[in-house]
Amino acid sequence: MGKKLWSVALGGMLAVSLLAGCGAKEEAPAAGTQAQTQGQKESAEPAGGTGAGQETQAPGESNGDYYVSVIMKSFTGDFWKTVQLGAEQAGKDLGVKVVVDGCDTETEYEQQIQLVESAIMKGANAIALSTLDSEALVPICEEADSKGIKIITFNSTINSDVPICHVATDNYAAGELAGKTLGEALGGSGKYAVLGSAEGVKNNRDRSDGAVAYIEKNYPDMELIQTQYMDNDMNKAISIINDWITSNPDIKGIYTNNETGTIAAATVLSERGKVGEITHIGFDATEQTCAQIKDGITSSIVTQIPYKMGYDAVAKAVDALNGKEVEPLIDTGVALVTKDNLDSEEIQKIINPLN
């Protein structure tokens, strides 16, 4: 698909242009009341971390006794909490049982395999999965598919043709938007570095690669120090950024491609007195990362729309169970958050979908 960017800017009047929606038939509704969350009712204990196995079912459109298992990377961070809210609201609206699980950390792919196994055992009709490892999850997903379970992926997918549909941001385009924003902020010159989260996950690599490719093409006078990955570990992220600043005192820009890295960068810049000296472009707008924009630590944040991602993943699973044709790729969009548009209605709907 084309690398089209959705940016949101405020200049007397807010202009919004959406990334291609790939013909999605369901759209996440304006956020309303949060779906009721009950304790896990099954006798088997879930394999996920804190908060795992949260079940939602409420009256809505009649879809029989469908059970959709939603397996996130983890429950850590506001991004995944918002994905969960979207998935639960879809369960309420569509009248299906939704059980949301997640791992203890975003490196526990073996635990995620166990969560898929558990969903199979408990009789899930569909599994919506955000994979922690594009290869390691293939065998268990193929097993689920062989049992007639519909597989939907969201945020990140597997290297297999088993998934009926992938619901996600165009991460390469999101990376391009980050690269464009950093290049403009630095005036097209200066040293910069890129911090990714998970090198083994394609969607995360795409966010890094898109930024670097855009800068190389459009800002040839900018110099890349390094692209490095920190396994979604806050302490590791802080260490890497500190090393960059120590080894490259003339560094002018840092791009971090997920929430953990974005918080880590703000921590380092504040502690080392580099706010205003090093331009920081982050990823994933949450209450904490947006506070960094307000405080002038982070210049801009490229963000996904996690509520819509969770909602559409469940909605497409239900479509597939009902025998409807489902588009293979649903692009949930991306936005650019700045100090100028942070308080706008459009951006606030992304950050606080239930307010």
pLDDT reading at 260 higher than 80: yes
Residues 6 or more apart whose Cβ sits within 8 Å of residue 14: 8, 341, 344, 345, 346
Query: What's the rounded Cα separation, in Å, for the pair 348 and 351?
Result: 5
In this prediction, residues 204-220 reach a mean pLDDT of 97
Is the sign of the CA dihedral 302, 131, 28, 333 positive or negative? positive
Query: What's the rounded Cα separation, in Å, for the pair 104 and 67?
Result: 23
Give Cα 8 distance to the centre of its chain.
18
**Is 215 exposed, middle or buried (CB count within 10 Å of its CB: 0-12, 13-18, 19+)?**
buried
In this prediction, residues 308-335 reach a mean pLDDT of 96
Q: Which amino acid is at 217?
A: K
Q: Please name which of 224, 223, 254, 250 lies closest in space to residue 238, comparing C-alpha atoms.
A: 254
In this prediction, residues 320-347 reach a mean pLDDT of 95
In this prediction, residues 269-292 reach a mean pLDDT of 96
Q: Helix, strand or coil for residue 91?
A: helix
Rounded (10°) angle between helices 287-294 and 259-271:
40
Q: Look at residue 63 in the predicted model and tell me its pLDDT.
A: 67
Please say whether the beta carbons of 137 and 112 come within 8 A. Answer: yes
Helix H or strand E encompassing 98: strand 97-103
Is the sign of the CA dihedral 166, 169, 173, 178 positive or negative? negative
Q: Look at residue 58 in the predicted model and tell me its pLDDT.
A: 45
Q: Look at residue 55 in the predicted model and tell me its pLDDT.
A: 57
Q: Look at residue 53 in the predicted model and tell me its pLDDT.
A: 65
Please say whether the beta carbons of 175 and 197 come within 8 A. Answer: no
Q: Look at residue 200 in the predicted model and tell me its pLDDT.
A: 85
Query: What's the rounded Cα separation, in Å, for the pair 248 and 269?
Result: 14
Q: Look at residue 347 in the predicted model and tell me its pLDDT.
A: 92
Residue with the two structure tokens 């924009």: 293
In this prediction, residues 52-62 reach a mean pLDDT of 52
Where residue 2 falls among pLDDT bands split at 50, 70, 90?
very low
Q: Helix, strand or coil for residue 224?
A: strand
Q: Please name which of 286, 332, 298, 319 lies closest in space to residue 82, comparing C-alpha atoms.
A: 286
Please say whether the beta carbons of 303 and 287 come within 8 A. Answer: no
Query: What's the rounded Cα separation, in Å, for the pair 39 and 19?
Result: 37
In this prediction, residues 290-304 reach a mean pLDDT of 97
* 284 phi and psi angles, rounded to 5 deg: 80, 105
Where residue 48 falls among pLDDT bands split at 50, 70, 90?
very low
What is the overall mean pLDDT for the chain? 86
Q: Do you know the residue count of the chain?
A: 355
Please say whether the beta carbons of 168 and 156 come within 8 A. Answer: yes
pTM equals 0.75
**Neighbouring-strand partners of residue 190:** 222
Q: Look at residue 54 in the predicted model and tell me its pLDDT.
A: 59
Please say whether the beta carbons of 91 and 97 come within 8 A. Answer: yes
Where residue 354 falls among pLDDT bands split at 50, 70, 90?
confident
Where residue 27 falls among pLDDT bands split at 50, 70, 90?
very low
The residue among 183 and 5 whose pLDDT is bigger is 183
